[in-house]
Structure 1
Amino acid sequence: MLLNKIKIETERLILKALSDDDANSLFTIFSDPIVMKYWNTEAWREVSQAHEFIASSTQAMNERSSLTLGVFLKDSNTLIGKVMLFSIDNESKRAEIGFGISRDFWGKGIVAEAANALIDYAFNKLNLRRIEAEIDPDNNASAKALTRLGFVQEGLLRQRWEINGVISDSAMYGLLAKDKAYSQT
């Protein structure tokens, strides 16, 4: 199965691979310093960074080391963010999850809908056993979203990142396939 051919539909969303045509919309989302506040990279400064991200994501999907899907509104085909499984380790049956959504769509259940669909895909189609997430401990919105998705905080890595001279910790979360299955019954 080619990861770049995956298309997941939910009630309001379509999750699918990004194309170069999505670069401007992607740049608009990830050049926003508020969206990027808790990321381990700076906000994008040039649309070329979006083109590079799409190219590297496509290559990683071809190599089966990550799965990056754009989050599109089903009714308008508008790109509003991305969800990712990365650092996929097929032998250990685990991956890391990440998501980023346009600020215009915060608080509307988009992260929960998109992430749940990706998690279900990861456990049921990719046969992963574990999904991990790493967030800035000050990112309360992501912590709440992960908890609602069934993740458990498993640890704290002190002074893990330094971006523009700002040092931050990382809170580590984990979700097991058996936990997700249990929580849905």
Structure 2
Amino acid sequence: MFPTLNTDRLMLRELTENDALDILICFSNPDVLRFYGQSPLANQNQVKQIIRNFSMNYEEKRGIKWGIAVKGEAGIIGTIGFQEWSQEHKRADISYALIPEMWGKGYAIEAVNKVISYGFQELNLTRIGAMVFTENESSIKLLEKIGFEKEGVLKKYMYQDGVAYDTNIYSLVDPKTT
């Protein structure tokens, strides 16, 4: 069964095809995509296929993606999850995105903290990684505040709008394993 996670203000829940419009709004916004390394989503049918792929990735234990919902409000304000999940190597990479109207309200750090706790406690991860465009100051600040450490820079690692960008690689290691 897909895990639902709760924080004081948020519910992190399984994405369904009913979330397609909210996801399309988020991932067609140039401000969201500026540092995401992804082309804008084009239509709800494309999004519904992506949601089905998320479900398959979870079933195959390769990734998990939650919709971020504000408690008491309809719809979702973004997504968060793990990709590149390896049970064998006890690691995964985290990614997250919120619609710009929800930036600066503390929702991202609240969701990231909850997902990290879930990763270490329930998925038995030892390491959680994050790839961040070197220009993405907000995400860098968030990760460092939580305790992620910068391991290095991957030169020209990700493309956005046909331009190659350097990417910082960050990690957080489960404190129980150090």
Answer yes or no: same fold by TM over 0.5: yes
Q: CA deviation at 1:78?
A: 2.8
Q: Which residue of 2 aligns with 1:78?
A: 75
Instruction: Measure, in 1, the Cα distance between the counterparts of 2:102 and 2:67.
Output: 14
Q: Which residue of 1 aligns with 2:34?
A: 37
What letter matches 1:62 in structure 2? E
What letter matches 1:67 in structure 2? I
> 1:111-150 to 2 correspondence within 5 Å?
111-150=108-147
What SS class does the counterpart of residue 26 from structure 1 fall into? Answer: helix
Q: CA deviation at 1:56?
A: 0.5
Q: Which residue of 2 aligns with 1:154?
A: 151
Instruction: Measure, in 2, the Cα distance between the counterparts of 1:63 and 1:121.
Output: 18
What SS class does the counterpart of residue 55 from structure 1 fall into? Answer: helix
Instruction: Measure, in 2, the Cα distance between the counterparts of 1:76 and 1:13.
Output: 10
Identity of aligned residues (%): 30
Which one of the candidate residues 82, 90, 94 is aligned to 1:93? 90
Residues 1:61 and 2:68 aligned together: no
What letter matches 2:151 in structure 1? E
TM-score, normalised via structure 1 length: 0.92
Q: CA deviation at 1:47?
A: 2.0
Instruction: Measure, in 2, the Cα distance between the counterparts of 1:114 and 1:83.
Output: 7
Q: CA deviation at 1:172?
A: 0.2
What letter matches 1:44 in structure 2? L
Instruction: Please list the CA deviations of residues 161-184 of structure 1 after superposition, one character each: whole Å capped at 9, or x if unmatched.
Output: 2333211111000000118x99xx
The alignment of Structure 1 onto Structure 2 pairs a total of residues equal to 178
Residues 1:19 and 2:16 aligned together: yes
TM-score, normalised via structure 2 length: 0.96
CA RMSD of aligned residues (A): 1.5
Q: CA deviation at 1:45?
A: 2.1
What letter matches 1:123 in structure 2? F
Instruction: Measure, in 1, the Cα distance between the counterparts of 2:72 and 2:30.
Output: 28
Residues 1:167 and 2:154 aligned together: no
Q: Which runs of 5+ in 2 are unaligned?
A: none
